[in-house]
Amino acid sequence: MFVAKTYSMPEKKDNMQITVPHRMSRKSQVQTVVPTNHRWQTDTRAVNDTEEQAIIRSQNFSLHYGSKVGVKNITMDIYPHSVTAIIGPSGCGKSTFLRSINRMNDLIPHVHTEGRLEVVGQNIYDKRTNLVNLRQEVGMVFQRPNPFPKSIFDNAAYGPHLQGIRRKDELQYIVEQSLRAAALWDEVKDDLKKSALALSGGQQQRLCIARALATKPRVLLMDEPCSALDPIATGRIEDLMGQLQSTYTIVIVTHNMQQAARVSERAAFFCLGELIEYDRTSKIFSNPGKKGTEDYVTGRFG
Ligand code: ADP
Ligand code: MG
């Protein structure tokens, strides 16, 4: 698991831009991403009527910053080829949980975890986990676009270069495919040597998505990816999520209820570090099972 992938030059393919309409039935598009010989336990702790197996399984997962709770006893399954939104008031553990999925919290001192967090059947908190490979499998996009002060090309080629890919034609191919997948290629194809910092905020965020996609992750984590963007750039990122979900598993933290309703298939409501409710987004917004969820989604608190 998490073995570094090698790239081979593909046979002639025009592009990998995905044109699947948002939320079309995924039955026909499903790729196998979970080992078929893996037998999951039979209890379902999240709504799943698609016969798909979870790609991320959190089992009584807790994270503390020293004595402070980040998240407590989170048990939830996240399904592939869909967008899962994490919603909830500020400080309730949304980012903590998201960062836990690729162990970004490891960089923070005094962090300690309990329980299990599996990605594709592997407990990622196992000592043997290779963090570089994990973060290539589970890419992350942050609140503020954070391109490196390098060219557009070098940003998109960063991950593959780290993976040891040196052939120029191979890197060029990956850069083009990643920029196409992030719906940025047409805007930058003549300026690949230009500094990434010269791009607009929305373009920088799409470049960060391209940079994450370049290592061919299975999972894309997005922590309030539109909160620094204007409505037009936000719309483009939301459209992009709709396109990417047929290939990737997207987990997005958002404090924007409309955005969660627009982009996600399932939504998890967090409060004070705990998972209060997790269900189909339509149910969370129209008929939540818990009073706390209802109060939050109707704007009564938060
Ligand atoms: P959210 O993303 O929902 O706003 P966070 O996951 O950032 O919430 O924070 C959850 C809790 O963990 C908060 O009480 C916050 O103060 C605390 N926390 C977050 N990051 C750190 C950190 N680096 N060090 C200490 N405490 C932190
Ligand atoms: Mg946060």
Express each pLDDT in 155-165 by its tens digit: 999 999 998 99
Ligand nearest to the CA of 90: 1
Task: Among 15-24, 60-69, 200-209, name the one with the lowest average pLDDT.
Answer: 15-24
Q: Using 50, 70 and 90 to split pLDDT, how confident is the model at 15?
A: very low
Q: What is the mean pLDDT of residues 41-59?
A: 69
pLDDT at residue 206 is higher than 60: yes
Q: Report the SS3 class of residue 161.
A: helix
pLDDT at residue 32 is higher than 80: no
Give the tens place of pLDDT for each residue, 104-124. 999 899 999 999 999 999 999
pLDDT at residue 295 is higher than 60: yes
Q: Using 50, 70 and 90 to split pLDDT, how confident is the model at 44?
A: very low
Q: Using 50, 70 and 90 to split pLDDT, how confident is the model at 301?
A: confident
What is residue 52's predicted lDDT score, i.e. its pLDDT? 77
Q: Which tokens hold the place of 153?
A: 């090309």
What is residue 43's predicted lDDT score, i.e. its pLDDT? 37
pLDDT at residue 285 is higher than 60: yes
In the chain, where does DSSP find H-type helix? 94-100, 131-137, 152-162, 168-181, 185-188, 201-213, 231-244, 257-263, 281-286, 291-297
Q: What is the mean pLDDT of residues 223-251?
A: 94
Task: Among 4-13, 56-65, 145-154, name the one with the lowest average pLDDT.
Answer: 4-13
Q: Are 101 and 119 contacting, i.e. CB atoms less than 8 angstroms apart? A: yes
- How far is ligand 1, taken at its centre, from the CA of residue 257, in Å? 20
pLDDT at residue 16 is higher than 50: no
Q: Are 252 and 51 contacting, i.e. CB atoms less than 8 angstroms apart? A: no
How far apart CA 179 and CA 229 sit, in angstroms, is: 19
SS (H, E, C) 161-185: HHCCCCCHHHHHHHHHHHHHHCCCH
Q: Which position has the token pair 């004070």?
A: 272
- Which residues have a Cβ under 8 Å from the Cβ of 76 and sit 6 or more positions away? 45, 46, 57, 58, 268, 275, 278
What is residue 50's predicted lDDT score, i.e. its pLDDT? 63
Q: Are 80 and 55 contacting, i.e. CB atoms less than 8 angstroms apart? A: yes
Pocket test for ligand 1, best of 74, 95, 270 (most atoms within 8 A of CB): 95
The set of protein residues with a Cβ atom below 6 angstroms from ligand 1 is 65, 68, 70, 88, 90-96, 108
Ligand nearest to the CA of 68: 1
Ligand nearest to the CA of 91: 1
Average pLDDT of the chain to the nearest whole number: 86
Q: Which ligand 1 atom is nearest residue 68's CA?
A: 26
What is residue 25's predicted lDDT score, i.e. its pLDDT? 36
Q: Which ligand 1 atom is nearest residue 270's CA?
A: 3
